[in-house]
Amino acid sequence: MNNRCNDDSTEWISECNDSRFAMGCNDDDLAMERNERKQQANEHDVDQLIEHDIDQWIEHEVDQSMMGSRNADEIDDPRIPVTIVTGFLGAGKTTLLNHLLTSDHGQKIAVIVNEFGEVGIDHELIIGAEDEIIEMNNGCICCTVRGDLVKIALQLLDRKFGMNERAYHFDRIVIETTGLADPGPVIQTFLAEDLLAQFFKMDAVITLVDACHAHLHLHQGPEAQAQIAFADILLLNKSDLVNMEQLTALEARLRHMNVSAPIYHTCQSTLDIRYVLDVNAFDLSHKLDIRPNLLHAHHHHHHHEDHVRSIVLQDERPMHLQKINQFMDEWLINHAEDTYRYKGIIHVDQVDRRVVFQGVHMMLGINTDRNWRDDELRLTRIVIIGKNLDEVWFQQRFADCIAESTESAL
Ligand SMILES: Nc1nc2c(ncn2[C@@H]2O[C@H](COP(=O)(O)OP(=O)(O)OP(=O)(O)O)[C@@H](O)[C@H]2O)c(=O)[nH]1
C-alpha cells in the first residue's frame, strides 16, 4: 500500500469514530427495541422462515446495536447488508474480495460471484475458509440470471433463519458482478423484489477503476460508464501503475461522471475495510437520477456488445511449458489490445504445482501455487474475454501446447 492509501485511511477513521453510535443501554430500552423489531419482522413475509430463529436474530441485532457496535442509522434497520462490488474486467474486484475475506472483522460474509465466461476460475482464486462462495456462471447477472440471484438470496435467508440442514449464519452478502455487468439491474433486484427488500438492505455499490486501463475501457461500450455512475464509493485502483498526473486527470474524469461518490486511491485494492463495509452509503435518489425507472421491475433489456465474448481453452493432458510460453508471447504481441481479461490454471507437464496466470491486456502475472491434490482432476483451463477474438487461432495454438509424450500416447 502506498502513502496515499495510508493518508486516506487515517482521515477516514477519525470521521468514522465521530459518527459511531455510542449509547448507554438499560433493560427498558432493550425490551422496547425488541418489541418494535418483532412487530416489524411479523409484518414480513416469513412463510419459509422459522419464527424462533427470527426472535434470536432480532435479539442479537438489538444487543449489537445497543452495545454501540453499529452505525446509528442501522439501529432502525436490522436488515442484512448487501455490498455490490463492480468494475470493469480486471479492475481488482476479486483482489478486493480477498482483502475483505481475510481482514480481521469477525463477520461471516456470504459471497456471490458472477463471472463472464462459461466456466468459473474465480472460485479457485478466492481465499475464504469460513465464508461461503456461491458461483453464478450461467450467464451475466444483469441479464439472464437475475432469477437465479433471487433464488440464491432466498436460499441464503432460509439457511440463516430456517431449519435448513445447511445452516449458515452469515452477517452480510457481498456480490461480485462480472466486469461487463451493468449494476443497475442487480440493485433493482434487491430493491424491487418485495421479499428481498424486506430482508436485505443495500450498504454500498463499490466500483473499482483500473487506473492503468480505464482510458481504454471507458470507450468500450456503456458498461464501464454505468459502473462508475452507479458507484457509492469509487476505488481508483492500480495507482502504482500510473504517475500522479495521470491519477489526477483520471480522478477529474471520474468526478465528472459521478459527482458524489468518495474516490479512494488504492493499490492491490487494499484499504481500511471501514471504507467499504458497513458504510451505509447507498444513495437511492442518486441512482434514480441516473435511471428514473430503476424500481420498476423488468424494465431493463440490456445487451452486451456482441463483439465482446469469452473463449474457454480446456484440456486434461499436460501442457509443455516452453510451448505455453511461446503461445502467450505470440498472444500478447498480436492480441493484447483485444484481450481485456484472461485467467487460467495450467497443468504443466512434470510440474506438481498448479501454474496460475491471469492478466489484463499486456499485464500478465504468472505464478505457481499449491500442489495439485490427489483427488482432483489436473485440468488446464483458460478463460479469455475480449473483443473480436479469433477462436480458431486460440484453440489451435492451445492444442499445439499439449506435451508431445501425452499427445502421441493418445
Ligand atoms: N499492479 C497492480 N496490479 C493489480 C492491482 N490490483 C489488482 N491487480 C492485478 O490485476 C489483475 C486483476 O485483478 P482481479 O482482482 O482479478 O480483477 P477483477 O476485477 O476481479 O477481474 P475480473 O474478475 O476479470 O473482472 C490481477 O492479476 C491482480 O493481481 C494493483 O493495484 N496494482
DSSP character string of 354-380:
EEEEEEETTEEEEEEEEEPPTTS---E
Cell 422459522 identifies what position? 50
Domain ranges (residues) in the chain: 3-21+78-290, 309-409
| DSSP secondary structure code for residue 303 in this structure | -
CB of residue 93 inside a 6 A radius of ligand 1: yes
**Residue with CA at minimum distance from ligand 1 atom 3:** 238
What is the torsional sign of CA 285, 291, 292, 295?
A: negative
Domain 309-409 falls under CATH 3.50.50.60 = no
Per-residue pLDDT of the chain (410 residues; tens, 9 = 90+): 333 323 332 222 222 222 222 222 334 544 454 455 445 444 443 333 434 444 444 454 444 444 334 444 445 678 999 999 999 989 999 999 999 988 888 888 999 888 665 455 666 666 554 556 776 665 665 655 567 788 888 888 888 887 667 788 889 999 998 888 888 888 888 887 888 888 999 999 999 999 999 988 887 777 888 899 888 999 999 999 999 999 999 999 998 888 888 999 999 999 999 999 999 888 877 777 777 777 765 544 555 555 667 788 999 999 999 999 999 999 988 888 888 888 889 999 999 999 998 888 888 888 888 899 999 999 999 988 788 889 999 999 999 999 976 544 44
Cα-to-chain-centroid distance, residue 312 = 21
Ligand 1 in contact with 247 (CB < 6 A)? no
The Cα diameter of the chain in Å comes to: 79
Q: Is 358 near ligand 1, meaning CB less than 6 Å away?
A: yes
* Nearest Cα residue to atom 16 of ligand 1: 94
Ligand 1 within 6 A of CB of 5: no
CATH architecture of 3-21+78-290: 3-Layer(aba) Sandwich (3.40)
Please tell me the distance between residue 95's alpha carbon and the centre of ligand 1 in angstroms: 6
Any ligand 1 atom below 6 A from CB of 92: yes
Mutate to test the pocket of ligand 1, among 2, 94, 250 (most ligand atoms within 8 A of CB): 94
Query: How remote is the CA of residue 213 from the centroid of ligand 1, in Å?
Result: 11
Cα 187 to averaged position of ligand 1 atoms, centre (Å): 24
**Protein residue closest via CA to atom 2 of ligand 1:** 238
Residue 186: exposed, middle, or buried by beta-carbon count in 10 A (0-12, 13-18, 19+)?
buried
C-alpha–C-alpha distance, residues 90 and 179, integer Å: 7
Please identify, by atom number, the ligand 1 atom nearest to the C-alpha of residue 125. 16
Residues forming a β-bridge with 204: 83
Closest C-alpha residue for ligand 1 atom 9: 92
Q: Do 380 and 329 form a contact (C-beta atoms < 8 A)?
A: no
Counting from 1 in the atom list of ligand 1, the atom nearest the Cα of 341 is 24
Decide: helix, strand or coil at residue 209.
strand
Residue with cell 430482508: 199
Buried b (16+ CB within 10 A) or exposed e, 63-84: eebbeeebbeebbeebbbbbbb
Residue 266 CA: nearest ligand 1 atom is 31
